């Protein structure tokens, strides 16, 4: 686990509850590399602005591994509304994949609050997650892992290659609007279709 | 009605069905100005790339009026995935409002397919729309009009000022992913919240 913020701690705790052994690395202590080396599968849950540095530091330990990128490029502050520091023609998922070309990056879980990530049953209905990445096998591994968290595979939307992260990260802007409307972060979207 | 594409024709037909008189203007014939002059309330349903030119041409007739901007800044083609020609730190809603500062622009309806816009009942469940704009009275007028189309006010999410269009337009990228997953455009999102 790269990152010791709320998201990293929440996912790490859930993984341990499910019987996995977790090694966590945090910024500044030089242990991103050790955490990555340790893992069969690695999560990037660092703050968006530090994501590329974190995975670069951990690159040797990420070679050939599935790297689940949960980070988001949201930037708050300034005069205007929140924005994406990647712009719209790039994404943090792609930046992470470019930084560690030997890793099999799957963007996932970044569209919901940390509690919903690991306990989707707190939100009723057929609400969905998105995964994207270049490696179909890696997406299948992640989809199975998400199943362990409580996400049925039929509620995991395949958003294509890693450039799909442009869509799932830009979604955060409207997620923030819905959060304001709901008055909290324990929500998600369901896709309703013509019957 | 500015625009005679599928969206403009669909909304115009529904407005007439509901008893409104509609004057439509299209590109090239110089009648955007006449259509705007005629309307109590004006819809911009032009293709995104032509939206600013259309409302600029119609500016005199838009003064003080509610202008519902339905257009989207999607650009397809090129090597990469679809993108937003406004970038992420601007939006077409804001560009339209800047082009006609005397109009009361409300961004609305741009997050669903034309058939769903005017007949939301074809999609089951508590699926939502987003409105944003600087003028609260104008948003109330539009919300009432949407009620006539079949959208209850409690399913209309207020996304704040016109800069909220950055969020509702960027949403189109993930809308396209969901469309691929659903296999059609007759869908929408419901906001599921913790019970």
Burial class (CB within 10 angstroms; exposed 0-12, middle 13-18, buried 19+) of B41: middle
- What is the least distance, in Å, from the CA of A135 to any CA of chain B? 18
Nearest to B83 by CA among B72, B94, B95: B72
The pLDDT score that the predictor gives to residue A28 is: 72
Residue range B139-155: mean pLDDT, rounded: 98
Distance from the Cα of B19 to chain A's closest Cα (Å) equals 27
B126, with CB counted inside 10 A (0-12, 13-18, 19+), is middle
Supply the pLDDT for residue A80: 82
Write out residues 122-161 of B within 8 Å (CB-CB) of A. Answer: 122-125, 127, 130, 157-160
Does the pTM of the predicted model rise above 0.90? yes
Report whether pLDDT(B78) > 80: no
Average pLDDT value for residue range B132-147? 98
First-to-final CA distance of chain A: 42
Which residue in chain A has the smallest CA separation from B181? A157
Encode pLDDT of A71-103 as tens digits.
Answer: 999 999 878 889 999 999 999 999 999 999 999
Q: Enumerate residues 6+ apart whose C-beta is below 8 A from A118.
A: A10, A11, A13, A14, A149, A150
| pLDDT tens digits along B88-107 | 999 999 999 999 999 999 99
What single-letter DSSP state applies at residue A28? T
How confident is the model over A115-145, as pLDDT tens digits?
Answer: 999 999 999 999 999 999 999 999 999 999 9
Residue B96 has a pLDDT of 98
Place of tokens 């792609």: A94
Q: How does pLDDT run across A48-71, given as a tens digit for each residue?
A: 999 999 999 999 999 999 999 999
Residue in chain A nearest B168 by alpha carbon = A174
Determine the average pLDDT of the residues in A168-193.
98
Q: What is the pLDDT of residue A195?
A: 85
Q: Does B178 touch chain A (CB under 8 A)?
A: yes
Per-residue pLDDT averaged across A150-170, rounded?
98
Segment B78-94 mean pLDDT: 93
Q: Is pLDDT above 90 for B65?
A: yes
The share of chain A scoring above pLDDT 90, in percent, equals: 95
Contacts of B163 in chain A (CB under 8 A): 80-81
Per-residue pLDDT, averaged over A22-31, amounts to 86
End-to-end distance of chain B based on CA atoms, in angstroms? Answer: 41
Q: Which residue of B has its CA nearest to A121?
A: B194
A147-166 average pLDDT score: 98
Determine the Cα–Cα distance for residues B75 and B81; give it in Å rounded to an integer.
9
Residue B192: which of A81, A125, A157 has the nearest Cβ?
A125
Instruction: For chain B, give the mean pLDDT.
Output: 96
Give contacts of B176 with chain A, Cβ < 8 Å. Answer: 167
Task: With CB atoms and an 8 Å threshold, state whether B186 touches A194.
Answer: yes
Percent of chain B with pLDDT over 70: 99
Q: What is the pLDDT of residue B97?
A: 98
Q: Which site among A120, A167, A171, A188 would you substitute to test the B interface, given the most B Cβ atoms closer than 10 Å to its Cβ?
A: A167
Query: Does pLDDT of A36 surpass 80?
Result: yes
């Amino acid at each position: 686990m790269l990152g010791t913020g709320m998201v990293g701690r929440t996912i790490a705790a859930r993984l341990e509850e499910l019987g996995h052994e977790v090694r966590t690395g945090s910024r500044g202590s030089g242990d991103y590399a050790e955490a990555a080396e340790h893992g069969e599968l690695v999560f990037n849950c660092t703050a968006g602005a530090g994501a590329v540095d974190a995975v670069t530091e951990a690159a040797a330990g990420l070679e050939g591994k599935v790297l689940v990128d949960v980070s988001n490029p949201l930037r708050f502050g300034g005069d205007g509304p929140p924005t994406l520091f990647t712009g719209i023609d790039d994404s943090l998922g792609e930046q992470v994949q470019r930084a560690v070309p030997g890793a099999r990056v799957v963007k996932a879980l970044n569209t919901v609050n940390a509690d919903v990530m690991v306990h989707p049953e707190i939100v009723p209905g057929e609400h969905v997650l998105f995964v994207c990445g270049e490696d179909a096998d890696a997406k299948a591994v992640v989809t199975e892992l998400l199943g362990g968290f409580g996400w049925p595979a039929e509620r995991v939307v395949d958003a294509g290659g890693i450039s799909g992260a442009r869509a799932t990260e830009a979604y955060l802007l409207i997620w923030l609007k819905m959060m304001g409307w709901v008055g909290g972060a324990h929500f998600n979207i369901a896709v309703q279709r013509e019957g």
